[in-house]
Structure 1
Amino acid sequence: MNLTPGNAICYSGYREGQNPGTGHYPSFDEVKEDLTILSQNWTYLRLYDCGPHAEIVLDVIQKEGFAFKVMLGADLGAEMSNPNCPWDANFDAETLQKNQANNLAQINKLIALSKQYSDTIFSVSIGNEASVEWTDHLVSVESLIGYVRMIKKEISQPVTFCENYVPWTNKLAPLVAELDFLSIHTYPVWEYQTIETALEYTKQNYYSVANMYPDTPVCITEAGWACASNGRGIEPWNASQELQAIYYEQLMEWTTQAQILTFVFEAFDEQWKGSSHPLEPEKHWGLFNLDRTPKLVMKSLYQQLNQASQQDGSVIIQNVS
């Protein structure tokens, strides 16, 4: 298959006080506002699950006539305990059995939405970081293969799996033959790289997989740079808007030239993620702030877009400060 290059971004629209764990989701109008912002620069969106948030996003795209192409994901729970996970990932048999039932329901929902929104959903992913060594939602390769086969019996869209680059070079080899393309994640800042070595490290991550499977297309479904950190996993000096802007520019220049479809992580900051500490790095990966104003990496582009919109009488984004 051909992965047509284009600007691509991971989108999760949870705002202040919203959290999928508590069942508080963005409204139709809030998602519409987000997609109006993103439509000015991006063609592809990646969604992580098939829950209410994804349903709202797909509904907005269809009803408002947005031209996005969506990669829809399945949110799989742990089907195995994982003693290698740095936080708690030990589950009793009842929990694992319940997760398996929920996973099957998630796959069936993925199939149903892919049929309902076949003009919008250009590909599907059977999961996200469910096989990497440290995951807290470990799923066996055999189970992943089973899900792929189940999906392919029902829909025509290409099927992938989104995972850290490392498992692709070893344990996921049996899965590769079942997939239409591979989707890797690369985060040099999580692996103690500085901005001076970041792009070269990203390239090494990508080609470690692409060169191993020369007959299978490979895209990047997560790559980005944190803007703030309390020191958990990322040194505070190595997380800033300035560094994010540099990495983004380098990443886009390379992947555009190399024709690699690359989903930047991520569109907007998400306050609900990680610990309660305000500088928890999980909260600070967005190219836009929680209030939807652009960060340094996007400020110049969105100032230009805003000026152009004012000239033709429309408004793209009101506040770029």
Structure 2
Amino acid sequence: MKSKLKIIILLFGCIIGFGCNSKNQDKKEVKQEIKNKMTAKDILGNPDYLAISYGGYREKSREDNQPTISELKEDLKLVHAMGIRIIRTYNVQPKLPHAANILEAIHQLKQEDSSFEMYVMLGAWIDCLNAWTELDPNHDIESEQNKEEIDRAVALANKYPDIVKIIAVGNEAMIRWATSYYVQPSVILKHVNYLQNLKKQGKLDKDLWITSSDDFASWGGGDPTYRVKDLEDLIKAVDYVSMHTYAYHNSHYNPQFWKVPENEQHLSDLEKIDNAMLRALEFAKMQYKNVSDYVKSIDATKTIHIGETGWATVSSGHYGVNGSRATDEYKQGLYYKHLRNWTNKAGISCFYFEAFDEQWKDAQNPSGSENHFGLFTLKGEAKYPIWNLVDDGVFKDLKRGGNPITKTFNGNKEELMKTVLVPNTEYQR
């Protein structure tokens, strides 16, 4: 009898176990289904879905040194550990399969770990005629390559609909200081309308959001000469506005907000620096408000998110010791903290620029600021803004290029602070 009872109990346990396992599996499948159905509307402005700009290039040349899928997965695990759930890419050019490889890397990570969740704002690069050639760029006519770029973005969005939630037509493609390639708003409008029509025809996911990611001035937040009919129509056509704001660059080009005012000259150096970073926050808020006010005057239903903002940690030029002195990790840490706190509370997505340093951007000048906007160094050291995450152990067992994640300056804040300078009040650009 005892042996029969044991068999019955064992069988009953197996049945119960199977039932539990079945229920657990059902729960996992439901959760995965929910993730697959998450839309841009669900994730943009949601503080549980932090955003960041991501470029995985590690070498001095993009053309010759594409990151491998394995390297991209390594990076994606790091940003996922930070709490990032949306990343932004910049182009889908055929000679640079970076974006396509990122999507494949995310796809593989999701297959390997059902808890891995990451979405993409996929950029399609837009140029004018003769951009990046020896010929004079014609800003009134677009490059013939733009249509192919848009088509590649469409193909990737359809191949990875569970990952690609936004397509951005152009990156700083309408701002006139982009003298090598900028186009008129009519060009961006044309491609945005094309993508919106594909959604209506069922050739793109109806919940995919379409935007253009551009400087605050391009969205009517500054120079009134940008406020033309085509821009008004573009504002109405996009699903939301993606604007860029850079107090960092303006510490050189528009330094009034940056210099220490007379009524703060008596403060300590640290107080002067901390106050300057609060003014940098207010500068970003002002540019956001200026864009919002104009956009809402055109279309009151339109939301505005920040497609780019950041702070470099090294500069041999305008922002270093002989310039505005905006550059160091301490200031980057304050800016990152201020921007995250503000945007999270305000329901604004902030695609912070950027996750990792990239040395190809100013390959001939290793100390050029464009190479040093990352929250991680090239070899995977965590900069000051995310030292706390190292302390919290979120990067435990994760590596970049074989290197465990450690802190810059070996975590010695006193050594870091030796590199921190008060804003240059006497600076004349």
TM over 0.5: yes
Q: 2:128 aligns with which of 68, 78, 86?
A: 78
| 1:105, distance to aligned residue in structure 2 (A) | 0.6
Aligned twin of 1:241: 329
Tell me the amino acid that sits aligned with residue 115 of structure 1: N
The 10-residue stretch of structure 1 (273-282 or 112-121) with the greater mean CA deviation from structure 2: 273-282
Tell me the amino acid that sits aligned with residue 183 of structure 1: S
Tell me the amino acid that sits aligned with residue 129 of structure 1: E
* Contact map agreement 1:73 1:124 (CA 8 A) in 2: yes
* Contact map agreement 2:398 2:405 (CA 8 A) in 1: no
Segments of 5+ residues of structure 2 without an aligned counterpart are 1-40, 111-115, 199-203, 221-226, 252-257, 259-275, 408-429
Deviations, residues 218-276 of structure 1 (Å, cap 9, x unaligned): 00010111111112366362100000001111111111111111110000001010251
| 1:12 has 2:12 as partner | no
SS across alignment from 1:43: strand
How has the CA–CA distance of structure 1 residues 319 and 92 changed in structure 2, closer, same or farther, with 3 Å as cutoff?
Answer: closer
| 1:59 has 2:59 as partner | no
Aligned twin of 2:288: 206
Segments of 5+ residues of structure 1 without an aligned counterpart are 82-86, 310-314
Q: What is the percent sequence identity of the aligned residues?
A: 29
Q: 2:311 aligns with which of 212, 219, 225?
A: 225
The TM-score, its normalising length taken from structure 1, stands at 0.89
Aligned twin of 1:84: none
Distance 2:130 2:79 in 1: 37
Which 4+ stretches in 1 moved above 3 angstroms? 87-90
Q: 1:33 aligns with which of 68, 74, 77?
A: 74
Q: 1:48 aligns with which of 61, 85, 90?
A: 90
Aligned twin of 1:168: 219
Q: CA RMSD in A?
A: 2.3
Aligned twin of 2:149: 106
Distance 1:184 1:89 in 2: 30
Distance 2:52 2:333 in 1: 15
The 10-residue stretch of structure 1 (257-266 or 1-10) with the greater mean CA deviation from structure 2: 1-10
How has the CA–CA distance of structure 1 residues 253 and 144 changed in structure 2, closer, same or farther, with 3 Å as cutoff?
Answer: same
Aligned twin of 1:145: 189
More helix by percentage: 2
Deviations, residues 137-180 of structure 1 (Å, cap 9, x unaligned): 11121111111121122223110000010121124323111111
How has the CA–CA distance of structure 1 residues 303 and 148 changed in structure 2, closer, same or farther, with 3 Å as cutoff?
Answer: same
Distance 1:229 1:168 in 2: 29
The structure with more radius of gyration: 2
Distance 2:324 2:284 in 1: 21
How many pairs align? 306
| 1:103, distance to aligned residue in structure 2 (A) | 1.0
Deviations, residues 111-145 of structure 1 (Å, cap 9, x unaligned): 11111111101111001001112012111211111
The TM-score, its normalising length taken from structure 2, stands at 0.67
Distance 1:148 1:63 in 2: 30
Aligned twin of 1:312: none
The 10-residue stretch of structure 1 (234-243 or 250-259) with the greater mean CA deviation from structure 2: 234-243
